[in-house]
Amino acid sequence: MSEDSIYQSLRGSLGYLRLAAAAEALPAELDYAQKMKLGHSAFLGRLLEVEVAATEERRRAGLERFGRLPAPWRVEDFDFDAQPSVDRAMINELATLRFLEDATNVLFIGPPGVGKTMLAVALGRASIDAGYRTYYTTAADLVARCHRAALEGRWATTMRFFAGPRLLIIDEVGYLPLASEAAAALFQVITQRYLKGSIALTTNLGVGSWGKIFDDPMVAAAMLDRLLHKSVVFNIDGDSYRMRTHRARSERLRPRGKPDGDK
């Protein structure tokens, strides 16, 4: 076999095995190996490395797309000094992702603007970066999706979907009251993940008010029971961070030397 036909056949084999990155890198790697007088194993090692890197990148991009995180927030971006009611050490502990190992849930409870979504998303970011399948949804989207699934006869598939991710983020529970069908969907998602997979959940309602979101207080109680059994709960209070930046901006814009009316 001539050099050329060996090369063609090698390239063909790499293509057949779907090692596209290695196939593409082949000519350059062959030249490099010749120039540097690499042995067979060093050459093969370099070629496979190219394919491993490409596979990892594909996997990472896939997790990223799948996750649907609404913002690029990271734990490091959170201003803990502005929000003293958030236990920094506990957030840092959660960011190690050990909580995913025993399916611990994380609840962020508090009024609008205090950073609940930011913290949940930042944990999601850490989870994706560590290679865990992670999925972000609002409670309203989850419920709408389950509703569609029920109509289209895809209930079981959809339930399996929500059972799948290692971390499921359910944002904004309680902003809208949930009718009994919606509550049943949320209840089933929570129940089937119970002790199997972590949920990070944000809500504006204190645990005591959960009965208000749902028509049926028994469903609310059962849901909370499962969520809280193994959980870390953050009760965040204080001012909205949005309002705070808004205030700081208007204070900067206020002319100097003028008496400050509301002090």
Contact positions toward ligand ADP, by CB under 6 A?
73, 78-79, 82-83, 110, 112-118, 202, 241-242
**What, of ligand ADP, Mg ion, none, does residue 115 touch, CB below 5 to 8 Å by kind?**
ligand ADP
- Output the smallest distance, CB 39 to ligand ADP, in A: 53
C-alpha separations of 218 from 208, 221, 228 in Å: 13, 5, 15
- Output the smallest distance, CB 174 to ligand ADP, in A: 12
Q: List the structure tokens of 258.
A: 């003028």
- Output the smallest distance, CB 229 to ligand ADP, in A: 24
Pick the closer one to Mg ion by CB: 117 or 127. 117
> Nearest to residue 243, comparing CAs of 114, 119, 118?
114
Distance CA 156, CA 37 (A): 58
Which residues between 101 and 120 bind Mg ion (CB under 5 A)?
117
**What, of ligand ADP, Mg ion, none, does residue 242 touch, CB below 5 to 8 Å by kind?**
ligand ADP
- Output the smallest distance, CB 118 to ligand ADP, in A: 3
**What, of Mg ion, ligand ADP, none, does residue 118 touch, CB below 5 to 8 Å by kind?**
ligand ADP
Cross-strand pairs, 106: 200, 232
Cross-strand pairs, 134: 167
Q: Going by C-beta distance under 8 Å and a sequence separation of 6 or more, which residues neighbour residue 121?
A: 69, 70, 71, 73, 136, 169
| Residues in contact with Mg ion by the rule CB under 5 A | 117
